[in-house]
Amino acid sequence: MYSRITVTLFFAASVCLAEPKLLSIHPFTVQRGTPLVTSMRGTGLTGASSVYIARGFEAEVQSVSKAEGKPAAEIATVKLAAAATLEPGRYDVRLVTPTGVSNALPIHVVDRPVLPEPEGLHEEADQAVAVAALPAIYAARIDKRGEADFYAFEAKAGETITFEVLSGLPSSGAPGGNARGFDPAISIYDTGGSWFDSKRVNRLAANDEPLWMLGQATDAYLVHTFPKAGRYLLRVEAFSGQGGPDYGYQLKILPGRVPQDRAPARDAWQERNFSRKLSSNRLNLLAERGGKPGDGKAVESYRGDRFQLPATIEGTVAAPGQTHRARFQIDKPADIAIEVETPAAAPPIFNPVVRLLDPKGEEVATTFFAGRGACTGALGKSLQSKAVLALRDTGEYTVEIRDITSDFAGADFVYRVQVRPQVPHLGQIAIDADVINLARGDAKTVRVNFDREEDYRGAVAVTAESLPPGVQVMTGADFEPDKDPPRYPGKRERYTARAERTVLVFTAPADAPLTATPQVVRVAVRPVNGGKPGAIIASKEIPFMVVAKP
């Protein structure tokens, strides 16, 4: 049974500071080269003195006031400008207060004008915001529960238009997450009326989000081709009917088919993910994450019915019910890993199942995991993007690849299955701190979780660099209660890495110098193997402030 090691940075506080916390920003979209006055809503913002943001921005806090309504909050009015040469994209912004620096929220920089939502209600078709021309970008908000916004625009016959709504209060993507965030939904209507009502609007298309999966964003995205010219309506609403001062959104109406605007991945390394790239250099990358040099050999790609280890099998399930098979020979026992990548369509659209058959034609492994959960004991089944196993019988093995159903297929049902020897290494690494505000005389902790993949048994070094004057750091471990194992765990070790946790402890003496602005502390993780430290394989820059004790 695998366990998780977590590295935790400890900052233990005897007095709980009212640290600043940003809840939302409205508007959160700025055209580069054009100043913007925006409202940052949150708690603990009293006394906010400056804005912490990337180079290329000019920002100043104009005022801080109490927000109306409940729950209690403050609003910081901030004047913000992005340089005309700044690259469009998402940038983190934070507020600096006497009790520290806040969490980060994104500011979106675009290269087109951003139109404000006109005053008044836009809940009916005859109240719709008139879109004068495309492309168009709006900064708007769902101010109250049950509200919706209509936009009116013209489309030509055969014209394709992309509609996208980015939430200013993203939901968590977890069960119950939509109740704690703004999950936008969009619908397109024509205004042709009906035989009974000439003013009736008729829905043509709708979208909540392209795919809903745990941990993924819930922004709405829709591409539609209009069969005839005319006046059309777009409706924007919260999927669950919520609304309020934090429910800001960015609406983009763009001509043509435009790719979805996705947030960049926070973690560069993805171990067990169908979208991660299984490159020809993967064995060397894994060796580096294990603290050892790679042998330089590339993993070859195959499309035929036979291959040699290590190999990447490539193909497309183009017809429903199609099963692809490829064979390989082993002459001595081997520990192998099977990894699956879906470069185009991915789960839950394309659900590739990989089976491994022994020389007798019997199944010895699959990427379909079944077992009982530790919490409820309920039987669960799920597709996995990776499986590890030991092969002890020599002979010819067969890899089978198909979709989980016999009904779906297509040109985008593309797979890449890599079959290779196991390489012990560190997998996913998570450093849980977003910001550190440390009071003089206290301590705080930051957890660092990491996975031991493919029986990695080396040490793990976690360090903190560029500490403020007077701050010290120590390594440690915190307590994690034992969990009862599930009654029928299945072959969990085949699909789950050994997860561990460690901690770093940061302390500041009572006379440590205060920091007027955040100082970036870098937490780095590297493997140690054979008595030698390897290269840094994961790091995170964390704004750090030493503040006065209240």
- Rounded to whole angstroms, how far apart are CA atoms 502 and 485? 22
CA distance 86 to 57: 8
Q: Are strands 220-225 and 160-167 parallel, antiparallel or unpaired?
A: antiparallel
Q: Rounded to an integer, what distance in angstroms lies between the CA atom of residue 330 and that of residue 70?
A: 67
- Domain harbouring 467, CATH code: 2.60.40.10
Name 259's Cβ contacts closer than 8 Å, sequence gap at least 6. none
Q: How far apart are CA 146 and CA 231, in angstroms?
A: 25
Q: How many CB atoms lie within 10 A of CB 71?
A: 7
Task: State whether 119 and 250 are in the same domain.
Answer: yes
Side-chain-side CA neighbours of 64 within 13 Å: the count stands at 19
What tokens does 36 get? 């913007």
Question: Is 157 found in the same domain as 193?
Answer: yes
What is the reported pLDDT for 377?
59
Residue 421 one-letter amino acid: P
- Asked if residue 399 and residue 477 are part of one domain, the reply reads no
Together in a domain, 97 and 203: no
Whether residue 284 is contained in a domain is answered as no
Give the three-state DSSP class for 330.
strand
- Interacting residues of 181 by C-beta distance below 8 A, sequence separation 6+: 167, 169, 170, 171, 172, 218
- Look-up of token digits 């695998």: 2
| Residue 235 resides in a domain | yes
Q: What is the CATH number of the domain that holds 402?
A: 2.60.120.380
Q: Is 538 helix (H, G, I), strand (E, B) or coil?
A: strand
- In angstroms, the CA 78 to CA 63 distance is 7
User: Could you tell me if 136 and 251 lie in one domain?
Assistant: yes
| Rounded Cα gap, residues 74 and 67, in angstroms | 5
Nearest alpha carbon to residue 152 among 177, 170, 134: 134
Of the candidates 427, 425, 450, 462, which has an alpha carbon nearest to the alpha carbon of residue 500? Answer: 450
Contact 546, 515 (CB under 8 A): yes
d(CA 439, CA 17) in angstroms, rounded, equals: 8
**pTM of the predicted model as reported, rounded to 2 decimal places:** 0.85
Q: Find, among 102, 109, 69, the residue nearest to 88 by Cα.
A: 109
Give the pairing type, strands 89-97 and 105-110: antiparallel
- pLDDT in single tens digits along all 550 residues of the chain: 333 333 333 434 334 558 999 999 999 999 999 999 999 999 999 999 999 999 999 999 999 999 887 778 999 999 999 999 999 999 999 999 999 999 999 999 999 999 999 998 898 888 999 999 999 999 999 999 989 999 999 999 999 999 999 998 876 544 444 446 788 999 999 987 666 666 778 889 988 766 666 666 788 999 999 999 999 999 999 988 888 899 999 999 999 999 988 887 776 788 998 999 999 999 999 999 999 988 888 999 999 899 999 999 999 999 999 999 999 999 999 999 999 999 999 888 999 999 999 999 999 999 988 765 555 556 678 899 999 999 999 999 999 999 999 999 999 999 999 999 999 999 999 999 999 999 999 999 999 999 999 999 999 999 999 999 999 999 888 777 777 666 656 677 888 889 999 999 999 999 999 999 999 999 999 999 888 999 999 999 999 999 998 7
Same domain for 196 and 179: yes
Of 422, 448, 474, which residue constitutes the final position of a domain?
422
Local structure of residue 542 (DSSP, 8 states): E
Q: Are residues 480 and 533 in the same domain?
A: yes
CB of 540 closer than 8 Å to CB of 522: yes
Pair 521, 541: CB distance under 8 Å: yes
The separation between CA 463 and the C-alpha centre of its own chain, rounded to angstroms, equals 25
Domain that holds residue 472: 5-10+426-547
Give me the amino acid identity at 96. Answer: V
- Measured between alpha carbons, how far is 233 from 131 in angstroms, rounded to an integer? 10
Main-chain dihedrals φ then ψ at residue 503, nearest 5 degrees: -140, 155
Total of domains in the chain: 4
With CA atoms as reference, report the closest residue to 113 among 92, 136, 90: 136
**Does residue 165 form part of some domain?**
yes
Q: Own/partner pairs for 369-374, CB < 8 Å, 24+ apart?
A: 369/490, 369/491, 369/492, 369/494, 369/495, 370/490, 371/486, 371/488, 371/489, 371/490, 371/491, 371/492, 372/486, 372/487, 372/488, 372/489, 372/490, 373/486, 374/483, 374/484, 374/485, 374/486
Residues 37 and 146 in one domain: no
406 torsion bin: left (phi>0), alpha (psi -120 to 50), beta (else): alpha
HSE of 549 in the Cβ direction (CA atoms, 13 Å)?
A: 13
Please check whether residues 154 and 247 belong to one and the same domain. yes
DSSP strand pairing (184-190 vs 202-207): antiparallel
Enter the tokens of residue 206: 């709708």
Residue that is last in its domain, among 422, 439, 467: 422
344, part of any domain: yes
In which residue are the tokens 């994450």 written? 289
Which one, of 437, 447, 440, 439, lies nearest residue 540 by Cα? Answer: 447
User: Phi, psi at residue 493, to the nearest 5°?
Assistant: -65, -20
Domain identity same for 139 and 95? no
Distance separating alpha carbons of residues 71 and 80, to the nearest angstrom: 27
Q: Are residues 120 and 251 in the same domain?
A: yes
Task: Please say which residue of 422, 440, 471 terminates a domain.
Answer: 422
Specify whether 127 is located in the same domain as 232: yes
Q: For residue 430, tell me if it sits in a domain.
A: yes
In a domain, 261, yes or no: no
282 located within any domain: no
Is residue 281 in a domain? Answer: no
